[in-house]
Every structure is written in structure tokens, then in C-alpha cells.
Amino acid sequence: MIPLRHSDVPWHFVFESLAYVVAFRYYMRDRERRGDFLPDPERSSLMVAAIVGAAAGSKMLDWLEDPAVVLAHWRDPAILVGGKTVAGALLGGTMAVELAKRKLGIGRRTGDLFVTPLALGIAIGRVGCFLTGLDDHTYGTATSLPWAVDFGDGVGRHPTQIYELLALAAAIPLLRRFDRVKPREGDVFRLFLFGYCGWRVLVDFLKPDPRFGGMSAIQWACAGAMVWYARDILRILRERRGNG
């Protein structure tokens, strides 16, 4: 079992900030290298929509994770303001962008530019989640595996944050390779979102989150997104098989 020492350093804030900086710089570099069919004002409008939608989706799904606690402490600002979910941010941001595109009359797919920055940002942020320990509530269930981590309560747990970091590190080159074969516009983002949601459905079985019908609120939301994108993923697989 690997012990994780307690630290007063705000690791979550440090690595979350680093994640935003790295993701944005990578996005700007990739946009300049690849070009962008959207003019700056429209792209900026979609980014604002994504940020607002991500913030709202992150909070709403966090509240749904344990609604009994939220209702019991709804007057406590720490309960209402604290806590957020990556899955909720991705889904909320995606829905907000689609609504903004409809309002702006944008018919083309716009998410491919964000895939690698998002994956990098999430991976970096998970380091902060891991170092924050029990207070972050992203740790896994108890296990006797040799790489179990004691986050400070004497219990060896699955380091699910590290699992996610490694999964994203493996996914990034695969997504970049898929992008190089010039798939249909938007397919890289669809594949990333479908894959991430599938990963969360699986890995969140290793987390001690409240269950509803056998799965957590995050798992249900991710499963719903997978169903929504299933037709696109099947089409992508058929096209790849036909080209391969």
C-alpha cells in the first residue's frame, strides 16, 4: 500500500490552474496550425457558451450525485458552491455549444479543435485530485492491490485519479492518429466524448458514490450520452472498416 502524505498545499487549485493554462495554449497553437473556419467573434461566443454550460453542468451533476445531502444542507454555501464534476462539465458545455450554434446559425461541427486540449486539461487536473486526497472525493473503493493508495485514513484504495490520467495519456495519441486520417467534421470530438463517457461508466464502479439503480448519477448521465452518440460511433466504425 502506498501512503499519501497530507499537505497544506492547495494541489487541486494548482493543477486545475495549470490544466487551464496548458489546455488553452495548446488550443491556440492547434487552431493557428490547422486553421479555423469560424471567425473570431463566433468562436469566442461558442467558447463563452461552453464555459457557462460547463459550469452549470458540473454543478448540476454534482448535486445529483447525492441529492439528499444537498437538500439537507441547501443553506450551506460550501455545499452549494463547492464540488464539481468533469463529466458534468463536458456534457453541459457540449449542450450549451449546440444551443449557441443553433442561435448563431452555425451548421458545421466545431468541437474537434478542443479534443486534445480537453484531454490534456483533464489529465493534468487529475494529478491535483490525487494529491488532494480524501477531501477531493475522487478516490476509489478499498482494495488490497499492491498499488493501493492510503489517502490518509489508513485504508488502501484504488487510485482512480491515476487510472484516468493513464487512460487519457493512452487516448490522446490514438485520437490524434484518427484526426490525421481526416474523418468527417466533428467525428474526433464525438469519439472522444463517447470514449470518455464509456470510461467513466466503467471506472466509477470503483468509486464509493451513492447508487441509483446500480449506478451513480455520473454513470447514468454518461450512459445517456453514449446512447445519444451510439449511431455516430457505429457509422465511424463502419467507415473506418470500409477504408481499412
- pLDDT digit string, tens, across residues 100-136: 999 999 999 989 999 999 999 999 999 999 999 998 8
Domain containing residue 143: 2-37+108-243
Asked if residue 47 and residue 18 are part of one domain, the reply reads: no
Domain boundary among 75, 107, 139: 107
Hey, what's the cell of 181? Answer: 486520417
Asked if residue 142 and residue 216 are part of one domain, the reply reads: yes
Residues with Cβ within 8 Å of residue 93, at least 6 apart in sequence: 49, 50, 51, 53, 54, 57
What is the count of structural domains for the chain?
2
Domain boundary among 60, 82, 107: 107
Domain boundary among 107, 132, 150: 107
**pLDDT score for 149:** 95
Asked if residue 42 and residue 31 are part of one domain, the reply reads: no
Measured CA to CA in angstroms, residue 31 lies from 28, 35, 48, 227 at distances of 5, 5, 17, 30
Asked if residue 136 and residue 102 are part of one domain, the reply reads: no
The Cα 135–Cα 225 span in angstroms is: 28
Asked if residue 115 and residue 13 are part of one domain, the reply reads: yes
Q: Which of 58, 161, 176, 54 is nearest to 115 (CA)?
A: 176
Asked if residue 103 and residue 118 are part of one domain, the reply reads: no
pLDDT tens digits for 190-211? 999 999 999 999 999 999 988 8
Asked if residue 46 and residue 26 are part of one domain, the reply reads: no
Asked if residue 80 and residue 162 are part of one domain, the reply reads: no
Asked if residue 215 and residue 185 are part of one domain, the reply reads: yes
Mean pLDDT by 10 residues, the chain (244 residues): 74 92 94 89 92 93 80 67 84 96 92 94 95 90 95 94 97 93 90 97 94 93 97 91 67
Asked if residue 207 and residue 127 are part of one domain, the reply reads: yes
**Do residues 116 and 22 lie in contact, with contact meaning Cβ atoms separated by under 8 Å?**
no
**Do residues 138 and 86 lie in contact, with contact meaning Cβ atoms separated by under 8 Å?**
no
Asked if residue 183 and residue 85 are part of one domain, the reply reads: no
Overall residue count recorded for the chain in this entry: 244
> Is the model's pTM score more than 0.75?
yes
Report the alpha-carbon angle 137-118-166, nearest 5: 60
Asked if residue 60 and residue 93 are part of one domain, the reply reads: yes
Return the exposure string of 165-179: e unless at least 16 CB atoms fall within 10 Å of the residue's CB, then b.
bebbeebbeebeebb
